[in-house]
A and B are shown apart, each in its own frame.
Chain A
Amino acid sequence: MSRLARFMAVRAQVAATQGRGGASECVTPFGYARLDRYLPGGGLPLGRWHEVAGEGVEIEIGAAAGAFVAALAAPLAARGAVVWVMRRGDLHAPGLQGLGFPAERLIQVQVRDEAQALSALEDALGSAGVAAAIGEVEGVDLTAGRRLQLACEKQGATGFVLRRRPFGGPARAREEGGALSGSAAATRWLVASAPSAAEAGTSGLGAPRWRVSLERCRGGRPGAWIMEKSDGPYPLRVVADLGDRQLETPQPLRLAG
């Protein structure tokens, strides 16, 4: 057996012990090779849950992060229903439609507190017929994250946790929540809005853009990009690579020795 084959076998064993079943091997690619290479399997893993957060005032309003999640979940809506669990009922369906998300496939659930949000999210993820579930919660601790992951594996649904703090609420243990959160998530994204570029000859607003950084990713590498809402086959289009990593020569596997 060649060295590479042995390496691949060990890697498969590690992946198996990490609890990634058959369903989770499915991915949705971003359609941009230099981004997809950062992710395991060449795309956003399905049957797992992902964490999306904003910064500053965005952690309270969740607009840019919400739009990014809606764009990510839009292709999944063709496979089944999408459930959006929230504590504040300020999600505006016409705005979702404007982002290319089929609002008629969306079931909105309003909950009163954090515990209800997590339990509703977990319930939705474990139900047949649900392709994706999005939950606006303050943070996910280790236990809750593990439960979400188990629920995702039941039917292969994909979860999105949108980190959002209630308006005017106490800045509850940002450090501790931030440190604990994401340990069970497949990926963690930090999303902020970015200035758009209007089409030539027009003065209005261009397609919305986001500065997206992949902070951590199981089996992948972190990176940062500027993405734009696109009407093409993929919901998002990468406009520019950010950070110094784009200068590295891509090396999918590095063999020791």
Chain B
Amino acid sequence: MATQAGVRRLTALDEGATALGLFAGQKATDAAALAPELVTAEAEPALDQAALVALADWCARFSPAVAIDAPDGLFLDITGVAHLWGGEAAMMGDLIARLATNGLPARAAVAATPGAAWALAHFGEDGTIAAPGEEEALLSPLPVTALRLAPEATAQIARLGLTTIGRLAAQPRASVTRRFGAEVVQRLDQAFGRAGEALTYRRPPSPWFARLAFVEPISVPEDLARVTGDIAALLCARLETRGQGARRFELAFHRLDGVIQRLVIGLALPGRDGARAARLFAPLLDNVDPGFGIDVVTLLAQEVEAVSSRQRRLDEAAEAAVEDGIGPLVDRLANRLGPGAVWRAEAFPSHIPERAVTRRPPLSPFAGVGWDPARPRPLRLFRRPEPIEVVAPVPDDPPVLFRWRGIRHRVTRAEGPERIAQEWWRQPFDTTGPARARDYYRVEDVDGARFWLFRAGLHQPGVPAKWWLHGLFG
């Protein structure tokens, strides 16, 4: 039940309510008058949407390409996967049966175009399978509503007596376009396969998809490890024959109760070594909760690109190529510690010390640009400068004495200042003006420890300057 334009209306009904003659869109007061025992609940579209998304994820066991058709439908692109079930009919039967087991009544249809499948699933006979070329015959008796048109267009078409798709399709295209807009003709063409239709898939359809189904559900950790190796070998063999490698592998365990557990590994260089991928998955398998058992495992390769196969050297023990040695190490570390935990520092064109370094993937090619050797930088740079108490002659001499973390340091040598202004082109002027400039000094204390200090802002008579410690030289 939801409030639409100030009126409480029914949005969805169960079978019992339908049998009483109630219908969606009915006013709640009318419904209550007809069936005083009616039990109502507030509609929760957000939860419905979340449930639909979860269902779409669950459907990944049938096809990697699942598109959500809000509010209550799903498109599955089953091109090239139906044979795994022994045909479209068997696949659809399995899908409906599994949904019914989970208490989800559903209608399904198979057709060559999304438009025709939608129309048949919503208004045709449940479970229709339209062979290619049959769409026109099957769609003709269906109401115009089955074309997924805007309600206004549907109402207008119905007023003119064009109640079925067949009658509408028999009209001259030019006059239909003129009267009802281009959308009507486009929807007709899409349903009949004369125009393409792009679906937004929940995840990109990929031919690099492998699936293993088990007669008996598995749950033992050793079995999980073994099927991981099997499915990785399966997919990697296909990648190998096509000369491709992937940078990401997504392994999904589909549990009997419909829960899907996904594991992802990334590779620094595109690879197709099944054994290596399985080894990278191995430590993650501990996190998989098999529940009552796992009946389907799928593996999806992402970021697939061409990889030239290197010939194995005869003297394998000898010098290994850099990619052979470092690549697996980076993969192991990055998958164990997280994707951002392994990097190579590279120069970024900025004077601000914190911004002068960017983190790049460790095996990315080196741009060949370093930092300016004329500007010495500390070995340890604090993310946040630490405040220090300073004795310094004004206006802009380096300090002679400062206290950091409770320890007094007497400065014997100093270099500077190096004035670093804020980047005024990135932020408003008041936050980057001359008052925000920093004067950096390199100082050395009596013991030889070296510090990188700065004074915030310019010297102003009568205002004590603020000093900060930003880094330490070795």
Contact = CB atoms under 8 A, between A and B. Distances in A.
A128 B332 CA distance: 13
Contact of B337 (A110, A129, A208): A110
B472 A63 contact: yes
A195 B446 contact: yes
B474 A68 contact: yes
Given A66-B380, A94-B356, A120 B337 contact: yes
A158 to B, nearest CB: 15
SS class, residues of chain A in contact with chain B = mixed
Most buried by A among B330, B412, B474: B474
A108 B345 CA distance: 8
Given A95-B473, A109-B342, A120-B333, A204 B379 contact: no
Interface in B160-203: none
B381 interface: yes
Interface string A187-211: 0000011111010000111101111
B357 A94 contact: yes
A129 B373 CA distance: 28
A61 interface: yes
Contacts of A246: none
B380 A95 contact: yes
A108 B343 contact: yes
B433 interface: no
Given A97-B371, A195-B447, A63 B380 contact: yes
B93 interface: no
Query: Which interface class (under 10, 10 to 19, 20 to 34, 35 or more) fits B?
Result: 35 or more
A67 interface: yes
B56 to A, nearest CB: 34
A95 B471 contact: yes
A230 interface: no
A196 B413 contact: yes
Contacts of B343: 107-108
A91 B444 CA distance: 20
Contacts of A67: 379, 473-474
Contacts of B414: 204-205
Given A97-B370, A123-B329, A128-B324, A64 B407 contact: no
B58 to A, nearest CB: 34
A7 to B, nearest CB: 36
A23 interface: no
A152 B343 CA distance: 22
A206 B450 CA distance: 11
A156 B381 CA distance: 32
A196 B377 contact: no
Nearest to B340: A110
A97 B373 contact: yes
Q: What size tier do the contact residues of chain A reach?
A: 35 or more
B383 A116 contact: no
Contacts, number: 170
Q: Identify which of A94, A116, A208 gathers the most chain B CB atoms within 10 Å of its CB.
A: A94
A35 interface: no
A66 B383 CA distance: 18
Given A96-B379, A108-B344, A66 B474 contact: yes
Contacts of A224: none
Contact of A99 (B326, B382, B474): B474
B362 interface: yes
B380 A61 contact: yes
Contacts of A83: 329
B460 to A, nearest CB: 27
B378 interface: yes
Contacts of A210: 448, 474
Interface string B358-402: 010010001000110101111111110000000000000000000
A98 B377 contact: yes
A90 B320 contact: no
B415 interface: yes
A123 B474 contact: no
Interface string B73-114: 000000000000000000000000000000000000000000
Given A70-B379, A92-B378, A94-B356, 13 more contacts: A61-B472, A63-B449, A68-B474, A94-B371, A94-B375, A110-B340, A123-B333, A127-B326, A130-B329, A192-B448, A194-B448, A203-B413, A209-B448
29 contacts: A57-B405, A57-B407, A61-B380, A66-B380, A67-B473, A81-B326, A90-B380, A90-B381, A92-B381, A93-B346, A94-B357, A94-B377, A95-B376, A95-B474, A97-B373, A98-B377, A103-B345, A107-B330, A110-B342, A111-B341, A123-B332, A128-B320, A129-B322, A129-B326, A130-B326, A193-B450, A194-B447, A194-B448, A209-B448
- The 8 A-B pairs with the shortest beta carbon distances in the complex, nearest first, are A67-B474, A129-B325, A128-B325, A93-B345, A94-B377, A95-B379, A92-B381, A193-B448
